[in-house]
Amino acid sequence: MENTVISPNQYTEEELIKHFPGFTHQHANVNGVELHYVDGGSGTPLICLPGWPQTWFSYHPLAQSLAENFRVIIVDIRGMGSSEKPAAGYDKKNMATDILELVKQLGLTKVHLMGHDIGGMVAMSFAFNYPDFVDKLIVLDGSHPSEGMLQMPLIPPAGTFTEKMDTNTPYAWWMGFNQIKALPEKILEGRFQYLLDWLFEYVMIDASKMGTLDRAVYASAYNEAASIRASNAWYQSFTQDIEDAKHYNPLEMPVLGIGSNVSYNYMKMGLPYVATNVKVEGILDSGHYMFEEQPKKVIELVNGFLAF
């Protein structure tokens, strides 16, 4: 994939919302931070949280279909996209409080909640801490941080680190790289496209499904030092998240886990330990970015789960 020339004016909120007919941009001050979100559709509210290294725009393959049945609210979490990037507050419990205050500000009392990657971690924290506000929970390749993370290898076993992520022995080196403070932004500022292109090729089965526009949007969103610093803070809070999780009761609301070719087996093993009413589905012909590789299958699973 050739590098894309980034034109900031092309990736403004006003231009990108054109890919979401019927949706509008909104901003809210909650829990000491300004969050950006987009809002469209009608019906039972469905709060959608994106992951790294993406933004609200990652839901564009799903948004129109989901908005046929739900009021879809896609949020740039703290530190992401057009949301504010404060110096602190990136533990998942506090980020869940961001979302709670947004839900309250919108006058909502019960919501469906859906999160991918880091967004899934925040969604699970919301469900653990504020279960009365959650009707049903959907997490995609993004379970809450647990002590299992502390067993991730520093060095990959021989033969397992190739051009594509090994489904049996995944090596997510960025989990360690993103722990480092101050250095990543010096290396990646203005050059985030290189990381994106490598990452998408590595974790996707068909990286061509992550189109030129998507890549340019995310490179534009993460090129600035403040964006890199804030997004890395999501990872630097994992030890606090792990400690918080030791005090959570199992989830009782209906939970759907959707796993890619790499994460399905891990989610199938892990989610039943933290949820009493859980179903785990695999989209095994997709890598981590399922919205782009297999959007119809994601929509089918989400609609089927929320319909009952």
Q: Which residues are catalytic?
A: 117, 235, 288
Q: Which amino acid is at 123?
A: A
For residue 46, give the H/E element and its range: strand 44-49
Cα angle for residues 250, 173, 266 (degrees, 5° grid) = 30
d(CA 96, CA 115): 12
d(CA 10, CA 292): 21
Cα distances (Å, whole numbers) of residue 233 to 111, 144, 249, 261, 283: 27, 15, 26, 27, 29
Query: Taking Cα atoms as reference points, which of 194, 217, 165 lies closest to residue 2?
Result: 194
Q: Find out whether 79 and 233 touch, Cβ atoms under 8 Å.
A: yes
Residue 139 near residue 128 (C-beta atoms within 8 A): no
Q: In terms of DSSP H, where are the helices of the chain?
A: 13-16, 63-66, 92-105, 118-129, 174-177, 183-188, 192-203, 212-222, 225-236, 238-245, 264-270, 290-293, 295-306
Tokens representing 145?
A: 């941080």
Taking alpha carbons only, the member of 267, 275, 269 closest to residue 248 is: 275
Angle of helix 212-222 relative to helix 192-203, nearest 10 degrees? 130
Strand partners, 111: 134
